[in-house]
Amino acid sequence: MKRPSIARLILPLIAMLLPSLAGAQTMPVPVPSPPSLAAPSYILMDGRSGHTLVEHNVDEQREPASLVKVMTAFVVFSELEAGHLSLDEQVMVSERAWRMEGSRMFIEVGRTVSVEDLLRGMIIQSGNDASVALAEHVAGNEETFAQLMNQYASQLGMTGTNFTNATGWPDPDQYTTARDMAILARAMIDRFPGYYQFYSEREFTYNEITQRNRNMLLWRDNSVDGLKTGHTSTAGYNLITSAMRDGMRLVSVVMGTSSPQARADQTQALLNYGFRFFRSYELYGVDDTVTEARLWKGASDTLRVGVEQPVHVTIPQRQHDNLNAVMRLNTPIVAPVARGDRVGEVDIRLEGETLYTATLVALEDAEQGGFFGRLWDEVMLLFQ
């Protein structure tokens, strides 16, 4: 009797195992509970989608300390972008700026300093003197500058924040929340990528004095590229951080920790958790065709439909195939239609939960059809 080949014996066994192997490959990574931090308020947010991955007391109003300087920089960057300032523009140092206490870059009264040096002095060295000099140069005085800060905060949707100065110097009427600081950090990174690079610089020398960036994660984690520390005796130790790994950006805020080491360690725990268990995806770009809708009374019978803004979602790892899109079109869609006209909405869902709702718009102009075509569609619409 001819003995069966080894292949004939093994292949059926492999075939039996394939379904279980395939299932193992597609099994989602379990997502444990986030780390519990010894901080009164904190948040971890995806930088692109804005989806919150971890939160604790995120709307509790707290003293920001030098986190305020992120908004100070945001206002100055806005002035630079608008052409109202230049990096090499010279700023006269006032006595008020020179006399500022706390952390300083050691500018001298009556001297001029470039906007670029003041920005580095404020961002890297956390100079209160630099912050006041910039505020006075932009708005005349620090009080008027604070009005600008609050106007930008309102535009960004920072509903739990009020600024009274450009430095973060303690004031009972100055407060913010972890959520608002994350919103501000995302806006900073998105709007000013060229200027954002200041936040990754580890040290700056001015007036022959070299000072190191107080964000120790810039030395510990190569994926970290910003943003800002803050501390007063009443605020505790605060830290806004952003990091990028494998194309995914996360933003974290911890407020009120007990030491510089604690704020760094707890931020690191948040970042590691987010990068390990979540992934961010761009589902649709602004020019992607999401669907083709029925067009009535048009030269064409269909209309290409897409999203008004790019759609990003952040979900647990290996859950991408479980996403689904549910569209709600404003039917009937009747010609003429202009590119950009809103024609409905799409819900992005994962396991029955709506993660994101996006506005659907026409991706093209659609002219009216001929007389008989319009007449026929008019009749057909009566039966819809």
Q: What is the pLDDT of residues 64-97, one digit of tens each?
A: 999 999 999 999 999 999 999 999 999 999 999 9
CA angle 123, 185, 130 (to 5 degrees): 20
The 248-257 sheet, strands edge to edge:
52-56, 41-46, 248-257, 236-245, 224-232
CA distance 144 to 135: 8
With 50 as the cut, is the pLDDT of residue 179 above it? yes
Q: Can you give the pLDDT at residue 129?
A: 97
* pLDDT band with cut points at 50, 70 and 90 for residue 381: low
Q: How do residues 198-221 score in pLDDT, each as one tens digit?
A: 999 999 999 899 999 999 999 999
Q: Can you give the pLDDT at residue 6?
A: 42
Q: Can you give the pLDDT at residue 10?
A: 42
Q: Can you give the pLDDT at residue 321?
A: 82
Determine which of 92-106, 251-265, 325-339, 370-384 has the lowest per-residue pLDDT on average.
370-384
User: What are the sequence ranges of the domains in the chain?
Assistant: 41-278, 285-381
C-beta neighbour count of 352 within 10 angstroms: 6
In the chain, pLDDT over 70 holds for what percent of residues?
90
CA distance 25 to 18: 10
Question: CA dist 193 to 189, 198, 372, Å?
Answer: 6, 10, 54
CA angle 40, 241, 256 (to 5 degrees): 20
H or E element at residue 182: helix 178-191
Mean pLDDT of the chain: 89
Residue of 41, 49, 69, 280 marked catalytic: 69
CA distance 250 to 279: 10
Structure tokens at 197: 């690079």
Mean of pLDDT values over 123-148: 97
Q: Can you give the pLDDT at residue 384?
A: 72
94 is catalytic: no
Mean of pLDDT values over 165-171: 97
| Beta strand ranges found along 224-383 (DSSP E) | 224-232, 236-245, 248-257, 278-284, 291-296, 302-307, 311-316, 323-329, 333-334, 342-350, 353-362
CA distance 198 to 196: 5
Determine which of 43-57, 164-178, 251-265, 335-349 has the lowest per-residue pLDDT on average.
335-349
Secondary-structure class of domain 41-278 per CATH: alpha beta
CA angle 250, 50, 316 (to 5 degrees): 70
Question: CA dist 315 to 50, 77, 323, 348, Å?
Answer: 12, 32, 9, 11
Q: How far is CA 233 from the centre of its chain?
A: 29
* pLDDT band with cut points at 50, 70 and 90 for residue 29: low
Mean of pLDDT values over 282-289: 88
Determine which of 71-80, 256-265, 316-325 has the lowest per-residue pLDDT on average.
316-325
CA distance 383 to 380: 6
* pLDDT band with cut points at 50, 70 and 90 for residue 256: very high
CA distance 65 to 53: 25
| Contact of 342 with 356, CB cutoff 8 Å | no
β-pair partners for 307: 360
pTM for the full model? 0.85
With 70 as the cut, is the pLDDT of residue 178 above it? yes
Residue of 41, 103, 126, 131 marked catalytic: 126
H or E element at residue 20: helix 6-26
Q: Which residue has the tokens 């904190």?
A: 42
Quick one: fold of 285-381? Peptidoglycan synthesis regulatory factor (PBP3), Domain 2 (2.60.410)
Q: Can you give the pLDDT at residue 335?
A: 82
Map 36-55 to HEC letters: CCCCCEEEEEECCCCCEEEE
Mean of pLDDT values over 217-228: 95
With 50 as the cut, is the pLDDT of residue 22 above it? no
126 is catalytic: yes
User: In this predicted model, which residue has the larger pLDDT, 188 or 377?
Assistant: 188
DSSP state of 119: H
Residue of 41, 49, 66, 94 marked catalytic: 66
User: In this predicted model, which residue has the larger pLDDT, 69 or 334?
Assistant: 69
41-278 and 285-381: same fold? no
Q: Can you give the pLDDT at residue 166?
A: 98
Q: Can you give the pLDDT at residue 50?
A: 93
